[in-house]
A and B are shown apart, each in its own frame.
Chain A
Amino acid sequence: MSDVKLVEAPPGVEGSGFFATSMEKVVGLARSHSLWPLPFATSCCGIEFMATMGSHYDFARFGSERPSFSPRQADLLMVMGTIAKKMGPVLRQVYIQMAEPRWVIAVGACATSGGIFDTYSVLQGIDEIIPVDVYVPGCPPRPEAIIDGFNKIQELVKDESLRRRESPEYKELLSKYGIL
């Protein structure tokens, strides 16, 4: 039999019949274990992600049971692979269609920096067009690295303030990319 582990409750005040904590922590906890990823896979890193999703690495155990192939129901945009400049507007549109709160992970050297494709036709990192939360290095990264990057996203989600998306800093970040 497998040993089922439950997540630890956030710090709070506990008494007989009640438990009090802040809303922010509960929401963060719930979100971080129910991130629906949108795999935007264009090349070999996408193959690694397929292994990550499969039974051996079992991506679903982190709460990503459902890879969302519609951006409207996705929380996490996973960009895996070379993004050509012609693909840039498509990726941007996918990001814009996602509802807040949304996170982005750039998997692999190409999505992070252009990788070996230092050429006029390839985007030199997706952070030229959309904001990125976590970068996973590797060419391509192993499934363990992708999972590690995903866990970093979970940490970000867990600790994110509910008001962050309304903050002027966040709005400034998006307006820098011409979004909003």
Chain B
Amino acid sequence: MNRLSRQAVLQKITARFTDSISVPVEPYGLLTFETSSENISGVLRFLKEDKELQFNYLTDITGIHYPEKALSIGVIYHLHSLTNNVRVRIKVFLNGDNPVIPTATTLWEGANWMERETYDFFGINFEGHPNLVRILNVDDMTVFPMRREYPLEDPNRVDKKDYFFGR
């Protein structure tokens, strides 16, 4: 049961952040909008602490890489209001050369490992994170494997010669 409709959420958000967010869209019924790294902290804090909205649960933080775009690295937040049973998705696109974004650990302790994972795979620096080190990959890894410029396959593989596959 939706206690708060998406339209009501939409109105509250657009009323509060007219200039600092993109026009919200609803692909597959999931309220989605973009904002910038300067505004993300304020947006997240408002969504969490607003008495009516109560987006109190951070479902996920993840990254995305579009190498052809000017702002090539994206950070995506999924928030869930457990009291209102409504979800929202926020995207922030950053400069690929030095992607920096403020941490969400000040709002949700659970953001700690999510941001470490996003750093591990995309090399996004979360400013203010208490311990931004790799979490899933080996510590001595030098690349950020989910970025498109790094090959998915291991270079040490010896038995996969191209001519076996007609390449």
* A interface residues with partner B (beta carbon < 8 Å): 85-86, 88, 113-114, 118-122, 124, 128
Band of interface residues on B? 10 to 19
* B interface residues with partner A (beta carbon < 8 Å): 136-138, 141, 143, 145, 150-154, 156-160
Instruction: Output the least CB separation between B149 and chain A (Å).
Output: 13
Q: How many A-B Cβ pairs are below 8 Å? A: 37
Asked whether B159 lies within 8 Å of A119 as measured between CB atoms, the reply is no
The CA of A179 and the CA of B5, in the complex, are separated in Å by: 64
Beyond A85-B138, A86-B138, A119-B152, whether A124 also contacts B145 by CB under 8 A is no
Q: Can you identify 16 A-B contacts, CB atoms within 8 angstroms?
A: A86-B137, A86-B138, A88-B138, A118-B153, A118-B157, A118-B160, A119-B152, A119-B153, A120-B141, A120-B143, A120-B145, A120-B150, A121-B136, A121-B137, A124-B154, A124-B157
The CA of A120 and the CA of B82, in the complex, are separated in Å by: 37
Instruction: Output the least CB separation between B41 and chain A (Å).
Output: 32
A118 contact set on B, CB distance < 8 A: 153-154, 157, 160
B138 contact set on A, CB distance < 8 A: 85-86, 88
The CA of A56 and the CA of B12, in the complex, are separated in Å by: 67
